[in-house]
Structure 1
Amino acid sequence: METTGQGDCPGEVWLLPNWVDPERIYPLPVSASLRPELGLKPTNRVILYAGNLGEKQGLEILLEVAERFHSRPEVVFVLVGAGGGREKLEAKVQAAELTNVRFFPLQPNEKLAALLASADVHLVLQKKSASDLVMPSKLTGIMAAGGCAIVTALPGTSLYELVERYQTGILAEPESAEALWAGINRALTSDLAPYRANALAYAKRYLQKEAILTTFEQQLLALTPPAV
């Protein structure tokens, strides 16, 4: 959320970013995840997309990628959420007989940390037209949970620069099945511990609710004339 200064400060912009509640989203071991509840095996490599199943995410390419992993039964694509595009996606999965793609409904807030702990790799997918986002809300939760995300963003956008600068995830070109497939392959064959550590460190430093509100309060107080 951006707050634009008015009056004596025309054009001044403050950024009040999304925050994360550390009492609700935090790192958990896989043993405390939702894998058993979702019918996932300990040997599965779980690629998780959790959030809106709408049009702007361009999730159709995810099905193309899943088809390329069909010969690797240990790799499972888990889509959790609801949205206007879900029925169309489910129909395409059934038509293509993609047994490695599974859909689940939105999970209650108290299970969110356990859901995020279920993933080996998270997906933050956007179309090119929506890629200039500073921080998608789903990414803040992933980072607070100490997860590694594949993020589709264009070079030169705020989102791309943030992920690249802090090395909090793996970047891929939006709307490209080939780029997404390469990113997932890279994630499945790499040590993701550094990305996870960087993501959690970023969340602790920049996404804590108290720190964000304290900074905002200080900015507001700076506009108040000193007492005479």
Structure 2
Amino acid sequence: MNKGSDMKAIVFSAYYEPEVAASLYLSTNLYEDMAGSGIDVDLFVPLPTRGVSDEVRNKYKNHKVEVRCNGRLRIHRIGIPKEGKSVIGRAARYILMNAVFILKSISSKADVIFVQSTPPTQGATAAIIKKVMHIPFVYNLQDVFPDSLVGTGIAKKGSAVYRMGRVIENFTYRNADKIIVISNDMKTNIMTKGVPESKIEIVNNWIDGNVVKPIPKDQNYMYEKFGLSRENFNVVYAGNLGYAQNIEVIIKAAEVLKDCSDIKFLIFGKGAQEEEYKNMAAELNLCNLSFFPIQPYSEVSYVYSLGDVSIVPCKKGFGSSAMPSKTWSIMAAGTPVLASFDSDTDMEKLINSQKVGMFNHAEDWEGLSSNIKYLYSNREYLQEYGRNARKYVEENISREKCVGKYIMCIKNSKNIN
């Protein structure tokens, strides 16, 4: 342990920079700020695979330990196979990764284990290590498993996969000393499964308002980069093109509005259903919808500032087990949010109470297209919603405030018997 260190933490992560993955900035911010607060962090992560070239991956093969933050953050790169698109292959890779994490951890000395919930097996892995090492375990729940599998249609409630997921979930919750969730909906969800309220802490995902901010149209180079017109009304989606996101609702809304020649749908992303969505748009001959490569986090301000509005969609039944952090990025860019989401969720309450955009029920593409058309015709609301969004982020979702709560939970775990 470094001189002046408060404690040492073992941390696992499935992804880390320089990879390109949704909300990866949260991990980068958190681990750097943990180190800055006096915690020695041993971060174990696989060699980079998502969104990086073989050249970059090979570079990290030769630099398996990286030291940052004045020696307080040590990043250990684990050599396992690259990630593929097969669900079974990815699951096998996660299991191998967690097995390596166990072997690496039990030979280390630490005061606390901290892991996030992607993949869900990481929680169970940390619980095993806790039992071996007799140290506290702090768990960050970013989405609720196996509920998320049901919400996306991957598994049915009561199926063998679901039952196995519940076993993993219960084992994780039972052994975690503190569970940090990102919304009230998640807190309610896991309390109904028997988790005591005293074990749960709500901390929103954050956004660094100094990094993500509004970019005026005349200063946004992406119009030129992608050949876009500043005269059009742009509807932006950026992120994963997978099962949970339900990009189909955007494509169907674009079909409804295809005769409005200056309303354009811009989709930045990649994922398991990317080709399926591209084929769907092509079959519908949608000239008003375009797909672009996912952009690095450094370009988020430019991407969301392209949008007169930006969409946060989800599959029906998924909203109570997730709160997409892209919401905060959109709001930090001063862009109104169009949420196509489950009703009676934190998302609906946020949109309606803070007046930061418009809401429609999940999978209701007619409602989504109606909201787009309304804002297209009543543009005075764009500035109002955008100002409200930016103000809310500055006052409630700052990096300093939210990460500070994480650090306090982790440091206080030393006092858990």
- TM-score relative to the length of structure 1: 0.88
Aligned counterparts of 1:93 and 1:87: Cα–Cα separation in 2? 10
1:205 equivalent in structure 2:
395
Matched residues in 2 for 1:223 and 1:162: separation?
31
Cα deviation, residue 22, structure 1 = 2.4
Post-superposition Cα deviations, 1:12-31, rounded to whole Å, max 9, x if no partner, equal 22112211122321111111
Secondary structure of the 1:128 match is coil
**2:210 aligns with one of 15, 23, 36:** 23
Note closer, same or farther for the CA distance 1:64–1:153 as it changes in structure 2 (3 Å cut): closer
Distance in 1 between residues matched to 2:412 and 2:274, nearest whole Å: 47
Structure 2 residue aligned with 1:179: 367
Distance 1:133 1:28 in 2: 32
Q: Deviations over 1:33-78 (max 9, x none)?
A: 2122111111111110101111112211222221222212211110
Specify the SS of the correspondent of 1:64.
helix
Structure 1 position 14 matched with structure 2 position 201: yes
SS of equivalent to 1:26: coil
Q: Do structure 1's residue 107 and structure 2's residue 295 form an aligned pair? A: yes
Change beyond 3 A, Cα 1:134–1:160: farther
Counterpart residue type for residue 84 of structure 1: A
**Given the superposition, is the C-alpha separation of residues 194 and 188 from structure 1 closer, same or farther in structure 2, using an over 3 Å criterion?**
same
What displacement does 1:111 show? 1.7
CA contact (8 A) 1:173 1:179 kept: yes
- 2:377 maps to what in 1? 189
Matches of 2:347 and 2:296, distance apart in 1: 28
The answer on whether the counterparts of 1:45 and 1:75 sit within 8 Å (CA) in structure 2 is yes
Aligned to 1:139: 327
CA RMSD, Structure 1 to Structure 2 (Å): 2.2
Residue type of the alignment partner of 1:17: N
Alignment map for 1:1-228 (pairs within 5 Å): 1=140, 3-4=178-179, 10-12=196-198, 13-33=200-220, 34-132=222-320, 135-190=323-378, 191=380, 192-217=382-407
Residues paired across the two proteins, number: 222
Question: TM-score, normalized by length of structure 2?
Answer: 0.50
Question: Do the aligned partners of 1:134 and 1:158 also contact (CA within 8 Å) in 2?
Answer: no
Equivalent position amino acid for 1:99 in 2: C
- 1: CA distance between counterparts of 2:231 and 2:197? 54
Deviation at 1:4, TM superposition (A): 3.0
Q: Name whichever of 103-112 and 82-91 sits farther off.
A: 103-112
Aligned with 1:81: secondary structure?
strand
Indicate if the aligned counterparts of 1:63 and 1:93 stay in contact, CA closer than 8 A. Answer: yes
* Distance of 1:195 and 1:20 partners within structure 2: 18
Deviation for aligned residue 1:133: 5.2
C-alpha deviation, 1:122, in angstroms: 0.3
What are structure 2's unaligned runs of at least 5 residues?
Answer: 1-139, 142-177, 181-195
Q: Distance in 2 between matches of 1:173 and 1:48?
A: 18
Structure 1 residues 218 and 61 mapped into 2: Cα distance closer, same or farther (>3 Å)?
closer
Which letter does structure 2 place at the counterpart of 1:158? Answer: D
8 Å Cα contact 1:54/1:84 also seen in 2: yes
Q: CA contact under 8 A between 2:217 and 2:305: conserved in structure 1?
A: yes
Q: Distance in 1 between matches of 2:344 and 2:246?
A: 20
Q: Is the 8 A contact 2:340 2:364 kept in 1?
A: no
Deviation (angstroms), 1:165: 1.4
Contact kept, 8 Å, 1:133 with 1:158, in 2: the verdict is no
Q: Which amino acid aligns with 2:179?
A: T
Larger radius of gyration: 2
SS of alignment partner, residue 235 of structure 2: strand
Alpha carbons 1:48, 1:79 under 8 Å: kept = yes
* Secondary structure at 1:124 match in 2: strand
* Aligned residue in 1 for 2:173: none
Unpaired runs of at least 5, structure 1: none
Alignment check: 8 A CA contact 1:133 1:157 kept:
no
| Aligned-partner residue type, residue 14 of structure 1 | E
3-state SS of 1:110 partner: helix
8 Å CA contact 2:314–2:342 kept in 1: the answer is: no
